[in-house]
């Protein structure tokens, strides 16, 4: 499950309004606002619908991992290819320690 803060942050990252998220998730806009403002906790299936809609738009939700919860954007396919190319360049393995 996600929190209201994660929902609001995810919406900001994927640049979607509450109205558009309401349309995509079939959740009433007022329910989304109440959730994001921490005024009401919707049913778990409602939160799942919001999460799924935001994930379809490119948000990735980060569970509690000792460093806190969060949200980020997925890498695009071209970004993933560039990262894979950089990781596969090879070269000499050396110590990272600076004298």
Q: What is the pLDDT of residue 98?
A: 57
Low-confidence stretches of the chain (pLDDT beneath 50): none
At residue 96, the pLDDT reads 59
At 7, phi and psi to the nearest 5?
A: -60, -50
Domains recognised in the chain with CATH numbers: 4-87 (1.10.260.40)
- What is the pLDDT, as a whole number, of residue 79? 73
């Amino acid at each position: 499950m996600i929190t209201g803060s994660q929902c609001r942050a995810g919406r900001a990252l994927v640049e979607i309004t509450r109205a558009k998220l309401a349309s995509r998730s079939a959740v009433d806009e007022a329910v989304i606002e109440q959730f994001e403002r921490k005024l009401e906790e919707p049913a778990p299936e409602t939160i799942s619908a919001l999460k799924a809609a935001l994930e379809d738009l490119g948000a990735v939700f980060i569970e509690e991992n000792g460093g806190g919860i969060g949200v980020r954007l997925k890498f695009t396919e071209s970004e993933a290819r560039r990262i894979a190319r950089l990781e596969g360049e090879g070269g000499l393995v050396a110590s990272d320690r600076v004298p």
